[in-house]
Amino acid sequence: MITRREFVATSATAAAGLAIGPSGAAAAPSPTSPVSRFARPCVVASSNGIRGVKVAYDQIVAGTDTLDAIIAGVNITELDPDDQSVGLGGLPNEEGVVQLDASCMHGPTKRAGAVGCIEDIATPSLVAKAVMDYTDHIMLVGDDARRFAISMGFTPQNLLTEKSRQDWLRWKARLNPNDFWLDHDDDVQIRFTTGTINMNAVNATGDISSVTTTSGMAWKVPGRVGDSPIVGAGQYCDNTVGAAGSTGRGESNIMTCGGFLCVEFMRQGLGPEQAVLKALERVVATTQARLMGSNGRPFVDLQFYAVSKDGRYAGGSLYEGPGFAVCDERGARIEPCVYLYRQNERPRRG
């Protein structure tokens, strides 16, 4: 075991007073799974991970552990103040407070870590890994997760950027036309997001890891936790099969344990593309009536991303349109998701 100080020093570099970079917590070398004839390094992620998949892939082919590599990949998005989906600059809850969730899973050691509703720490993915590496627990939440992060050497900071604060003020001003808040009547559209980044990877020996990090639904009820920090929902991996994770409406994914379900479908022999489609069908089957249109299609959307032990991959969505990020020997790129329904089948509320 290394000290807390060494953990932060080796896993992060200083940026805007934050601990960033790939986690380097040293666990004892773990046995790797037997090499597959077809094993090839591959990283898949939600589309906002296009920069991160290249960083993760390059680290993996250079010999970095798969989990350290993909956490380095998602750190790029977590620390980007202009990206309002995760980490620094993430859109806040209804009280204007940025609350973050993350989880990670390491296939070779069969270990996982997670944090929920953590405030003031821009890289919850690294805190989740610290939970995995330094405790016998899997999830820490709220103020206690924050205290744990600080005890591990992470530096707290206000995560609400001016850009996100202005978006929050616009949203708040329009809640009630008779209140005392002045509307911001400019051209900026009020955005409602379920921003998240999921990333999964396999290396040449077939070792697998997954990570998901998020600021959650914009304007959420304080204390809301989505699927991202829930192992088996927001992400899941099995070193004998593959990994999968999700973005979109977390509540819908929690009801299906979607990350686990995708991996189980691959265990049964389905390829990643068929696995994500089957999981999406389960999402529709478990969707509440109040969230369904008269045509039997959900109002909400959800995406799954999966990679198998041999390096096959896929992204899937309820509705056509979104792509996903992938990087392998052909480089980093955006590819289209497979989907269940066309956009013109998506019902409109009201």
| Tokens found for residue 230 | 């829930």
| Tokens found for residue 301 | 């959307």
Q: Which of 131, 156, 123, 142 is nearest to 223 (CA)?
A: 142
Residue of 77, 109, 123, 196 marked catalytic: 196
Q: Which of 192, 215, 210, 323 is nearest to 266 (CA)?
A: 210
* Residue 166 CB contacts under 8 Å (≥ 6 apart), including other chains: 184, 188
| Tokens found for residue 47 | 């589309």
| Tokens found for residue 78 | 């977590």
Measured CA to CA, the distance from residue 189 to residue 163 in angstroms comes to: 13
**Cα separation values, 329 from 54, 85, 257, 326, 335, Å:** 10, 28, 31, 10, 15
Torsional sign, CA 128, 327, 63, 206: positive
Are the CB atoms for 306 and 266 separated by under 8 Å? yes
Between strands 13-15 and 18-20, the pairing is antiparallel
Measured CA to CA, the distance from residue 290 to residue 167 in angstroms comes to: 28
Coil/strand/helix, residue 346: coil
Q: Which of 34, 89, 7, 60 is nearest to 332 (CA)?
A: 60
Q: Which residue has the tokens 């990333």?
A: 199
Catalytic residue flag (residue 196): yes
Cite the active site residues: 196
